[in-house]
């Protein structure tokens, strides 16, 4: 009987591939966001509204992650942007390797912003770095105002919280101040935007902020 000391991070392999992705993004002057949320919060609708608003100002690529079907890629393809669908076949999250492989099916040349829409799941994607610049967590009002406290890891790792479906607030039991307050208890540095993909309220503010981040990316292809 003998003991072997290992002292290694369990997800180090994922982190290594995420670093490679990050180098690739930097090399190509890409700003990358990883969009996470529970299923049905409106991630794909936000991607659509974002493309609608920002497409003339930035060149965008999209990677869609789903357990099954390419429905989301079909929705995004209507905006005439490069899109790759990752089907995880049961996997509950995207990992750096899946994204790395997907990048091989996409021309990154000229793209300034890459949106990765993760698998709908408020738990597992939190642990997997994809090499992105920022994580954007979407919480819709219909999910209730307690989600940040129930799923803290996802909110801790995010830079942005999009509170979606705010047009439904009059009909449901969700207090936006409570939701924000709960989110700040987990992550005081969160940038919060309130959005509705139906009325388009808040989309401009979110997109203007995002455009600024992309343009501030020191290696942005726009500066080349």
Partner 1 sequence: MHELSVAQSIIEIIQQHVPASDLTRVAAVRLKIGAASGVVPESLEFSFQAIIADSLLDHAKLEIETIPFRIHCNTCKTTTEDNSGIVLCSSCGSTDTKIISGLEMQINEIEITESELEKL
- Per CB under 8 A, residues contacting partner 1 are 1-14, 91-93, 95, 123-124, 126-128, 149, 152-153, 156, 184-188
Closer of 67 and 108 to partner 1 (Cβ): 67
In whole angstroms, the minimum distance from the beta carbon of 40 to partner 1 comes to 19
Q: How far is the CB of 49 from partner 1 (least distance, A)?
A: 29
Identify which of residues 66 and 95 has a Cβ nearer to partner 1 in the complex. 95
**In the complex, what is the shortest distance from the CB of residue 153 to partner 1, in angstroms, rounded to a whole number?**
4
Nearer of residues 146 and 223 to partner 1, judged by Cβ: 146
CA nearest neighbour of 73 among 88, 60, 59, 63:
63
Return the C-alpha torsion angle 188, 191, 192, 195, nearest 10.
-160
Residue 118: name the closest of 60, 41, 64, 160 by CA.
Answer: 64
**Residues 44, 121, 32, 25, CA torsion sign:** negative
Closest contact distance (angstroms) between CB of 78 and partner 1 is 32
The residue among 16 and 23 lying less far from partner 1, judged by its C-beta, is 16
Residue 102 DSSP symbol? H
> Around 190, how many Cα atoms within 13 Å sit in the side-chain half-sphere?
29
Q: Is 77 helix (H, G, I), strand (E, B) or coil?
A: helix
Q: How far is the CB of 33 from partner 1 (least distance, A)?
A: 20
Contact 100, 128 (CB under 8 A): no
Residue whose CB is less far from partner 1, 87 or 106: 87
Which is closer to partner 1, CB of 31 or CB of 128?
Answer: 128
Q: Whole-number minimum distance, CB 146 to partner 1, in Å? A: 12
Please say whether the beta carbons of 186 and 76 come within 8 A: no
> CA-CA distance, 114 to 65, in Å (whole number)?
13
């Amino acid at each position: 009987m003998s003991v072997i000391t290992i002292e290694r991070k369990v997800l180090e392999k994922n982190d290594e591939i995420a670093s490679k992705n990050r180098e690739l993004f930097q090399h190509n002057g890409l700003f990358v966001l990883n969009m996470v949320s529970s299923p049905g919060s409106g991630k794909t609708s936000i991607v659509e509204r974002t493309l609608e608003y920002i497409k003339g100002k930035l060149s965008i690529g999209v990677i869609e992650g789903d357990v099954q079907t390419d429905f989301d890629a079909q929705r995004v393809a209507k905006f005439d942007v490069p899109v790759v669908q990752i089907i995880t076949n049961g996997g509950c999250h995207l990992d750096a390797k899946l994204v790395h492989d997907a990048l091989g099916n996409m021309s990154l040349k000229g793209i300034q912003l890459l949106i990765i829409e993760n698998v709908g799941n408020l738990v597992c994607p939190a642990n997997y770095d994809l090499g992105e610049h920022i994580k954007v967590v979407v919480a819709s009002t219909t999910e209730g105002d307690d989600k940040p406290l129930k799923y803290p890891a996802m909110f801790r790792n995010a830079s942005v919280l999009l509170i979606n479906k705010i047009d439904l607030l009059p009909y449901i039991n969700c207090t936006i101040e409570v939701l924000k307050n709960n989110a700040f208890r987990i992550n005081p540095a969160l940038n919060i935007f309130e959005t509705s993909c139906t009325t388009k309220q808040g989309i401009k503010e979110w997109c203007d902020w995002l455009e600024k981040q992309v343009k501030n990316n020191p290696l942005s292809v726009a500066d080349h």
